[in-house]
A and B are shown apart, each in its own frame.
Chain A
């Protein structure tokens, strides 16, 4: 099974890198050429800042971008350009590679990439308005890669079950199966109850999607390293799925508990101050909101801490080089420790998101027995 994955993955990577290489080097050469011509005027901002800014360093890594940054020597940035897809109200649909912007040093078709300020890293039109941007950004590219990886793993596993379900699990199957049975028997079944089977596909997809993306985010090199599950848009999407499924599964008793909570005095439920229904209705929205924020905050925080330790090296190197070497040892050790911690967090956050989603589904379809529940 492992060698099979390698057989697929290695050519895929090679193809990917080959495809990008041409543009990549073209981009960096152009960049250098331009720099040579323009002197350092274009990079005045960077030069003026001069000093290492850990805040920018961290946030540039955490935030989404239109290219996938690999490394920089001096003012030469090496990055994988990504497709930009824009819809402008003025000029319609545009598709081009982000290398056209030359890391923010050039305009293209009336668009430019902001390099500082409030909209740093965003594409703006000449008049400063934002076009409708559905570009394949770093996060989206990472998303595509993770989807490819997830499909590769789980379609393979699914095939094994289709072939012979009674055979003892082997290879990837024996990795996936205990996790699936753990989720089924210890998380989903107890949280949802007897009707749990309807929700299994969603919850399993959710768990493995979050977990695999969390772990890919820990790999510092493309196609990992994107802060996908630490991106609020992605966690928002996942929370929206849970919210939608909870809301659509809600049975009579679920809505009754929200609008007309049993066992609560009537004056708390009627105008002028229907406080309990209000709280319950807010609760419908806070539950997925909390899911969204928790995953985003945990993963982003993990990235920030790792980057913080790296930043220390740069900060100390501006003081003295020997000191920086000393600090780097400590930094790396802390980073390794954080990596292990983040591996744990990657699992825990995927688990918590799945577990809470299952609990919300369970609440939505639970049949209440009033006499017992509120006796």
Chain B
């Protein structure tokens, strides 16, 4: 039964022994150990955080550069588009102008031709009138030189005239 009865001497020695062990370990083992563990935990956490931040920075840089690239591309496309449009408009204008110019030239030419022709026809008419007058004068002169012929003409004309 005395197995179950604590010996006072053993209690005293184990109390002193455990207390001294505890005090020494607390100061010289657990304190540096726990502090060291905490420091290491912190440094690892910090390193992880730094890595995370760096990763974020890199991805931000990446997106920024991508954005810049996209902007540049858009700018380029815009410039090309504008140039194309400008070229188009310039060409259209030129074409339009040329057309108009052509039309104008043609119509002017046509006008000139018409007036020239009218003048020429007028001239021809005048000349034909003068020529026919001269020809009829010469014919009359020659016809009426013979008095028989004059008689015949008078008669013919009188025959043609029917008095009714």
Contact = CB atoms under 8 A, between A and B. Distances in A.
Interface of A: 59, 62-64, 85, 118-119, 132-137, 139-140, 143-144, 147, 150-151, 154-155, 157-159, 161-162, 165-166, 176-177, 180-181, 184, 197, 200-202, 204-205, 209, 231-234, 236-238, 240-241, 300
Interface string B5-25: 111111111110110111011
A201 B33 CA distance: 10
| Most chain A CB neighbours (cut-off 10 Å) among B5, B20, B37 | B37
A372 to B, nearest CB: 32
Given A139-B10, A234-B14, A201 B31 contact: yes
Interface in B1-51: 2-15, 17-18, 20-22, 24-26, 28-37, 39-40, 43
A160 to B, nearest CB: 8
| Most chain B CB neighbours (cut-off 10 Å) among A140, A150, A177 | A140
Contacts of B22: 201-202, 205, 241
Contact of B21 (A137, A162, A205, A236): A205
Contacts of A133: 7-9
Contact of A205 (B4, B9, B26, B35): B26
11 contacts: A63-B2, A64-B7, A133-B7, A134-B12, A140-B9, A140-B13, A143-B13, A161-B36, A184-B37, A204-B25, A231-B6
A300 B3 contact: yes
B23 to A, nearest CB: 9
A184 B21 CA distance: 20
Contacts of A236: 6, 11
B17 A132 contact: no
Contacts of B8: 132-134, 233
B3 A237 contact: no
Nearest to A136: B13
Given A64-B7, A133-B8, A209-B21, A233 B14 contact: yes
B3 A63 contact: yes
Nearest to B20: A147
Contacts, number: 134
A62 B3 CA distance: 8
Given A147-B20, A158-B25, 17 more contacts: A118-B2, A143-B17, A151-B21, A154-B25, A161-B36, A165-B32, A165-B35, A165-B36, A177-B37, A180-B34, A201-B25, A204-B30, A209-B21, A232-B5, A237-B18, A238-B18, A241-B18
A214 B92 CA distance: 103
B29 A197 contact: no
Contacts of B33: 157-158, 161, 176-177, 180
B46 to A, nearest CB: 11
A161 B32 contact: yes
Contacts of A59: 3
A305 B48 CA distance: 52
A298 B151 CA distance: 185
| Most chain B CB neighbours (cut-off 10 Å) among A118, A161, A240 | A161
A178 to B, nearest CB: 11
A231 B12 CA distance: 13
Contacts of B13: 134, 136, 140, 143
B38 to A, nearest CB: 8
B2 to A, nearest CB: 7
A166 B39 CA distance: 7
